[in-house]
Structure 1
Amino acid sequence: MSGSKYTASVVLITGGGSGIGAGLASTFHQRGARVVIAGRTRERLEAVASKHPGMEIEVVDVADPIQVAALAGRIGARHPSLDTLINNAGVQTLVDFAALEPHDPLALGAEVDVNLKGLLYVTNAFLPLLRQQGAARLINVGSGLGFVPLAAAPIYSATKAAVHSFTVSLRRQLARTSVEVVEIIPPVVETDLHRGLARRPPRAMPLDAFVTAAMAGLDAGRPEIAVGLANVLRIGSRVSPALFLNIVNKGDQ
């Protein structure tokens, strides 16, 4: 599955209506792959697909296992040769547990439902189809914050730490199958993920630069692709966790 040509590939990308998902979808499409983008908002998906003739869309809420199972059925019938799945759907909110009043538990759970449970549902539903291929890739999009958390976004950070752990386990379980398990680990990237914030995060990486680096890692066949500052956090979390925790959360005290 490594290499720069994807003319025979069929790629499904969740969270494909914006940000990293849309950027990866565009690049795979340009390289000749048949691309299906999935997400909750039809208008966003259509806006991306309209720029790439032949790109398909699927409206789905990955947090709903019934919708995910139905999606797997449709994709399996339409694209039985699906060989690349990119679990990219994710949301991020700022939650202050130091506040005097408790938060809405449904709102707290929504982030877990999309970022972690949704990834599990999609993986579970599509693995049988991927395993039918002679060679396939399952790509999970993690985060540098899965290694060093941003205290202001505690649920997001925790879900991405869980995504990393799950990906490591999944890679080991599938080591003797035809499915290669990859984790792309972004730094802060300039995307709509942060549209709820008052200002763009500092040192955010341009989306185009991130996609270029991520694709280079995929072309090289690397199982973990930590891009830019995410690689610094991955290493720093092992070398000096307290120091890097303070660096990431500088100014929150």
Structure 2
Amino acid sequence: MHQNSIKFEDHELKVDFLTLSMHNSTDEKNIQKIASYLFNSFGFNCFLSEGNTRKLSRPLFHDITTKDTTIIRLNYWNRIVIEFPGKSGQKFYQLVRSHQVDWKFFQPAPLGLNRLDLCYDLDKRDSFNLKEFDQFLLDSRRHILDFTRTRNVKLINNSRGLILGINKRSNARYFRVYETLSTIRFELELKKSALEHLQTSFFTSQFNFFESQLTQFYFQYAKLLFPLDNYFGSWLMNFLRKYSQNEHDNKFVTCFI
């Protein structure tokens, strides 16, 4: 298998959250420069947050006609984090991928890719049955406990229904499965330590390598977590049928499982 042939869009993966991190030494003038660049060049509303809470302190640039948002968090766990949530993360990633982002506006502080969420949305069938989905979550939890080393698997009940959480939220790899209005979302949250060997490829636009590595990891990891003998696990089979495994392809995967 040639890694260059695998892209997020080939398998309907999308970025759902992205954060960059910087050293805390960045001054207010540089923060204003970054916020101005993101707002004036790409239309991101920019908000400031301070401390370890997620409470917003004030808007830096704001246009009520757009929902694209970035949040700059100062002194957030001893670093500065530039956060692009949800669809804003999708937009910023595509801007980076199409070489539209000029990293010089983020200097002089060195940048890191601090978090990236990848998700696959499985369309609900017309015959979607909530009880069957809840049973799939229960079966997945049992499957994980029986066949993997992961012990922290929780079923969380909130206003959206049951959510399956795999690993602790602080883990470098945190997987969630939950229901949206029209889909079932399989969401993998990757933090900095899980992205360490991909930092250079991200910031130097080596996206064939970047996306190939993450796509393989996403699907091979998901294969271990979910039973495949039902509709809710069947989406994984398209990838597994298309690509054969070999030692080279799974080098990244086996490092983290």
After TM superposition, the score normalised by the length of structure 2 is 0.31
TM-score (norm 1): 0.31
Whichever of the two has the greater Rg, that structure is 2
Which structure: greater strand fraction?
2
